[in-house]
Amino acid sequence: MQKKQDHLEKFKTAIISTIKSISNRNDIEINFGKTAEVSSDNKSITLPNPQILNDNTQILKTRAFADTESLKLRYSNLKILKNFEPTGNVNKKLYKIAEKIRCEKLGMENFKGIKNNLESYYFEINAD
């Protein structure tokens, strides 16, 4: 049991290091909890808490979310986004989706590991 817990802690440590490295931010606070979310001020990220490391879908989800949020921190500028944000709920949702895709595309072009993680995750969730 202790060995599994050690592997889980090493996985979490690797994810935290990866987020800080990709985002170029050491001031980001990274937590693990029930739901995945990013604070409105982009100063903290909560990732889904991986409980079982032999659950491939859960690992892929955690890595993909960590990569995506790291890329948004690296390539997005909240002031610029807010300045050009459209009105209306649907328009705002589409605007956020477009920004997510833009950041993921840049990351996939610049980081082979991120490309592998995101492609694996998207293929996994679309395989159902």
What confidence score (pLDDT) does residue 72 get?
92
Tell me which residue has tokens 């890595």: 63
The pair of three-digit structure tokens given for residue 75, joined into one six-digit string: 């390539």
Question: Which H helix or E strand runs over 29?
Answer: strand 29-33
**Is 128's pLDDT higher than 70?**
no
pLDDT tens track for 11-69:
889 999 999 999 999 899 998 887 777 877 778 888 877 766 667 788 888 899 999 99
Query: The whole model's pTM is what?
Result: 0.86
pLDDT of 2 > 80? The answer is no
DSSP secondary structure string, 81-116? Answer: HHHHPPSSHHHHHHHHHHHHHHHHHHHHHH-HHHHH
* Among 33, 59, 70, 52, residue whose Cα is nearest residue 124: 59
Collapsing DSSP states into helix, strand and coil, what is residue 31? strand
* Whole-angstrom distance, CA of residue 66 vs CA of residue 2: 25
Query: Residue ranges of the alpha helices (H) in 1-128?
Result: 2-23, 56-75, 78-84, 89-110, 112-126
pLDDT grade for 1, boundaries at 50, 70 and 90: low
Q: Tell me the pLDDT tens digit for each residue of 62-116.
A: 899 999 999 999 999 989 999 999 999 999 999 999 999 999 999 999 999 999 9
